[in-house]
Amino acid sequence: MDNIEVVRTVEDLWNTGKVDELDQYFAEDFNNESAVPMLPKGLEGAKIAHSMTTQFLPDRNVEIVDIFGDGDKVAVRQRVTFTNTNGVPWLGAPANNAKITFEWFGIYTLKKGKIVGHAAAIDGFAFLPQLGVWSPPPMG
């Protein structure tokens, strides 16, 4: 399995909630540069964050829009959609039944077919206003 297929498989496992199958794709010393503060490091913390997210956003879906790789790096752009039916308490967002769509970008680093690193950026300028927790300042 090449690096792009490893990342596709991992993203599918996250998206379908099959987190128990993830361990085989991650190195023991996996470094998640985008980890949620105050959660355990590595894959354990990522699984906890995922569990928190799916608890409040049960219809969350993640679609790979672009994926490409070069050597030990794989870049992915994904579109996330969900309905804000339960609120997002860690952001202070009450439930508003809004259909939310935003994108995030991630870069995976792999060695010998295992993920050793991940860094990501979420498009908060699209995400937070849809939740109703932030409004951009008026222009002009």
Q: How many domains does the chain have?
A: 1
Residue 28: inside a domain: yes
Residue 114: inside a domain: yes
Residue 87: inside a domain: yes
Residue 90: domain span: 3-130
pLDDT score for 123? 87
| Least confident stretch, 25-29, 51-55, 98-102 | 51-55
Residue 97: inside a domain: yes
Q: What whole-number distance in Å separates Cα of residue 104 and Cα of residue 118?
A: 13
Residue 78: pLDDT over 90: yes
User: Using 50, 70 and 90 to split pLDDT, how confident is the model at 120?
Assistant: very high
CATH assignment at residue 34:
3.10.450.50
Query: With a threshold of 0.75, does the pTM exceed it?
Result: yes
Measured in degrees and rounded to the nearest 5, phi and psi for residue 52 equal -60, -45
